[in-house]
Structure 1
């Protein structure tokens, strides 16, 4: 079907409310990494969804949090910038009848820009239906949202309704991305992020937040189509390097195996992945390194 309407929609909220889980559910495949740790997403990620005569371009953003490093400053700027110049904003919240600081700040920004807004109450599978009413009333008092949608991004409940509601805000116009495109992220960036996701999943406490991944090599072998990836994992301390590698290299092997399996699913091809670990002290406060690792202003 010919695309007649297309537009940009920003997905915002505090860390760990399910922005990336919703993005993946809308697209129908994994393009944004997901963990139960806050600040998993560092960049703005575009997800493209074609449905009927509409093309939705969703922008998954880092959670709005109090920045403690230059990388944190960058992530907060990404969130604030992403609310401007869009056709609609989805504010995702947890089913708690209280408007917190990050939500107040984002609602203030939505008000000042006068952009259409939809409140998405995620994780409804974790509460009783009666409890949702108090959450809806609390947020309805804080801002006149165009719609309030209770969903569970994790199990897909209500996800289709999100598209139904957002379709009304898309302006008429041609598609912004080719039909077969699901994200504007380069493949190598998605692969680096998948490796970082496994670091977040496998490692405890602060260590994974001090990691970054750089792909040194990303090439397809002509003879058999296998994709060869050489990746360097950077961390901030020697002690962290030892933990990432693990006893006899066991932890690094586990991280690499999990990452390779996901990368193969994403690329639709066999992958040969090699990983190394290096120390770069305080890289999160070094703008040059932050940019080198792919975190750049548009």
Structure 2
């Protein structure tokens, strides 16, 4: 990154890092994608889908916001869970602004308060903005009550607490949210060139798209047990313009393999087909996806294997 491209930073330009926190499934990744304007974080109906910290960039004339999408903070049950929590806490201690996300249609509960307490412990001085998400799911009265309650929750520590309702799906109030975040950021230069949308490497994005396809439509039993590793990516020698991607999906038990494969292998074929479509859209080229399944007992608690996957 050459430094001279940042000399044209206008007077009063603001830049910095923001992280959205909240219980699982409060719409953090969907919000990240909506603000960045491109799919960089995978979304699935299961809680705790995000595993890696992903940085997405929001460029405006007067600011550059780096959205750090992290795994959710939760009470860990495995070594993987402990390592994810450590990453999350490290991230919260480093960002300039934290957005606490609460869905419009769910009451604020002990889980939300637990998260807020944890965040305040690791980042006592960081500005926290209250964000009521999924505006399209709640009635006006629900949204009003939620904003009020969230404001009360935050203002016990910060008398200038700001709360804002948004709908990432319907693109409602996103610019207002950008404005609220911008105002809370320090003045500073751009960290990334204007054409950057994420710092996530391509292999990791592809592995995540395969994992997203595998999780689609599943119940809660599998999210933690699925890991995807890209073995190799090579241009096809016989078919110009085709990229061959060889990937391995790791599961923890044979029963999970049966779920992923489905009746007569139909589900597995659908996973490969859907993942391939998403990967082609990401890369802008034709792809052959060779996906194999390996069962690796209790990999979430195997330090060596977790290290290999980058945790």
Indicate whether the TM-score tops 0.5: yes
SS of aligned partner of 1:84: helix
Which residue does the alignment assign to 2:72? 63
Contact 2:25 2:47 in 1 (8 A): yes
Deviations 1:3-46 (A, max 9, x none): 43321111111100000000000011111000111011112111
Deviations 1:189-234 (A, max 9, x none): 0100010011111433413431100000123458733322101011
Which residue does the alignment assign to 2:291? 275
How far, CA to CA, are the matches of 1:125 and 1:132 in structure 2?
Answer: 10
Q: CA deviation at 1:110?
A: 4.7
Contact 1:97 1:138 in 2 (8 A): no
Which residue does the alignment assign to 1:121? 132
Which residue does the alignment assign to 2:215? 200
Deviations 1:74-97 (A, max 9, x none): 222232222112111111111257
- Normalised by the length of structure 2, the TM-score is 0.88
The runs of 5 or more residues in structure 1 that have no matched partner are none
Superposed CA RMSD: 2.0
Task: State yes or no: 1:251 paired with 2:267.
Answer: yes
Which residue does the alignment assign to 2:178? 163
Which residue does the alignment assign to 2:3? none
SS of aligned partner of 2:95: coil
Q: How many residues align?
A: 295
Alignment of 1:60-99 (within 5 A): 60-95=69-104, 98-99=107-108
Name the CA shift for 1:97/1:189 in 2 (closer, same or farther; >3 Å): closer
Larger deviation, residues 65-74 vs 1-10: 1-10
Deviations 1:249-296 (A, max 9, x none): 32211001000111111112221111000110000111221222232x
- Normalised by the length of structure 1, the TM-score is 0.92
How far, CA to CA, are the matches of 1:268 and 1:174 in structure 2?
Answer: 32
Contact 1:97 1:134 in 2 (8 A): no
Contact 1:98 1:138 in 2 (8 A): no
Contact 2:233 2:245 in 1 (8 A): yes
